[in-house]
Amino acid sequence: MDYTAENRPVVSVVMGSDSDLSVMKEATFLLEEFDVPHELVLASAHRSPERTRRFSEGAAARGVKVIIAGAGAAAHLAGVIASQTVLPVIGVPIDSSPLKGLDALLATAQMPGGVPVASMALGKAGAKNGALMAVRILALEDPSLRAKMEAYIENMARGIEEKQEKLRSKQE
Ligand code: RP5
């Protein structure tokens, strides 16, 4: 990612391991679709705590407005980041463990009172919704982004109408 002023990331997509990329790229695809400048960051709450701390404490000063953090297993990444920044943190639990993500889901959702993490669904749907949630937050202060989100929602509804039409014509 190019860190020039006009291209500074406003969303950080953070993941605990490069093995999470196949899930978290769903978030970056959507941010690209909405033309939201973003960055992809590797930081592990357990394996690189110092790097995670530096990222969390420095993100707001770099112009980042929303953080999406995906991790699997004992997924502390989103919570640890949320404890070290005032930015909104969206957690994406990843189904990368023998417990198939139940561990990550609970670790992401069950934050103690005082340190909020907005937990998404497990896996790719969660990564996708994490990006959409970030766009909705940014759209509060950005009318052009709000218009894009409205168009996205209308387009989704149109897709259902079209699929319904296809189903109907197959049944005839
Ligand atoms: C977590 O442990 C990561 O977020 C990943 O989902 C999981 C496994 O990591 P690797 O052993 O594949 O690097 O910290």
Q: What percent of the chain has pLDDT over 90?
A: 94
pLDDT of the residue at 99: 98
pLDDT of the residue at 1: 36
- Given the CA of residue 16, which atom of ligand 1 is nearest to it? 4
Please state the rounded mean pLDDT for residues 98-123.
98
Q: Which of 14, 15, 20 to mutate to test the pocket of ligand 1 (most atoms within 8 A of CB)?
A: 20
CA distance 50 to 67: 18
Q: DSSP class of residue 6?
A: G
Decide if pLDDT at 91 tops 70: yes
pLDDT of the residue at 72: 98
Instruction: Look at the domain 5-141 and name its fold.
Output: Rossmann fold (3.40.50)
Q: What percent of the chain has pLDDT over 70?
A: 96
Of 128, 18, 150, nearest to 142 by C-alpha is 150
| Higher-scoring residue by pLDDT: 150, 7 | 150
pLDDT in tens, 17-68: 999 999 999 999 999 999 999 999 999 999 999 999 999 999 999 999 999 9
Separation of 19 CA from ligand 1 center, angstroms? 6
**First and final CA of the chain: distance in angstroms?**
52
Find the helix packing angle between 123-139 and 143-171, rounded to 10°.
140
Decide if pLDDT at 4 tops 70: no
Separation of 16 CA from ligand 1 center, angstroms? 6
Separation of 49 CA from ligand 1 center, angstroms? 14
Q: What is the mean pLDDT of the chain?
A: 95
Decide if pLDDT at 13 tops 50: yes
Give the pLDDT band (50/70/90) at residue 172.
confident
* Domain residue limits, the chain: 5-141, 143-172
Structure tokens at 95: 């189904």
Please state the rounded mean pLDDT for residues 61-80.
98
pLDDT of the residue at 50: 98
CA distance 101 to 166: 35
Q: Which of 14, 18, 22, 96 to mutate to test the pocket of ligand 1 (most atoms within 8 A of CB)?
A: 96
pLDDT of the residue at 6: 57
Residues lining ligand 1, Cβ inside 6 A: 16-17, 19-20, 44, 71-73, 94, 96
